[in-house]
Amino acid sequence: MTRAEAREYMMTVAFQMDVLGEFDVDKENQFLGIKLGNQDEYCSKLFSIICNKKEEIDNYIQKNCRKWSVSRMPKTDIAILRVAVAEIMYAKIPEPVAVNEAVELAKKYSEENSPSYINGILGAIVKEKSK
């Protein structure tokens, strides 16, 4: 599994956790039950970050989105954003990589306007981080 495929898988996991309302780090085996090959550690790290830092991640997103609240965003978009913010703020993934991958996921899974909206939110978060 490539890093991009692992990121896509983690987007689906973040989506499932949101739908179920279960951001419990102790449920890693339930959500990451399949073998991910060379990306096991990466997925486990992202899972832990998303569970343990969900409130902080959502605050970053909320502060940088216009006229929307996290609770009103499409679940696919928020899942993509949570993975990207986890990578940018906590996993030390290069910012351009995390932003580009999030935009690509939005092109594949989200609505027509989502890629540019996600790019804008993540761009603002990156800018805020560099201050």
**pLDDT tens-place string over residues 10-66:** 999 999 999 999 999 998 888 887 666 778 889 999 999 999 999 999 999 999 987
> Both ends of the chain: CA-CA distance in Å?
35
For the whole model, what pTM was predicted? 0.94
Query: Across the chain, what does the average pLDDT equal?
Result: 92
Pairwise CA distance, residues 97 & 124, whole Å: 15
Pairwise CA distance, residues 72 & 27, whole Å: 26
For the chain, the domain total comes to: 1
Domain encompassing residue 27? 3-129
CATH number at residue 118: 1.10.940.10
Which of 25-34, 98-107, 118-127 comes out lowest in average pLDDT? 25-34
- Does position 124 have pLDDT exceeding 80, yes or no? yes
Pairwise CA distance, residues 100 & 25, whole Å: 27
Pairwise CA distance, residues 96 & 84, whole Å: 10
pLDDT above 90 coverage of the chain, percent: 76
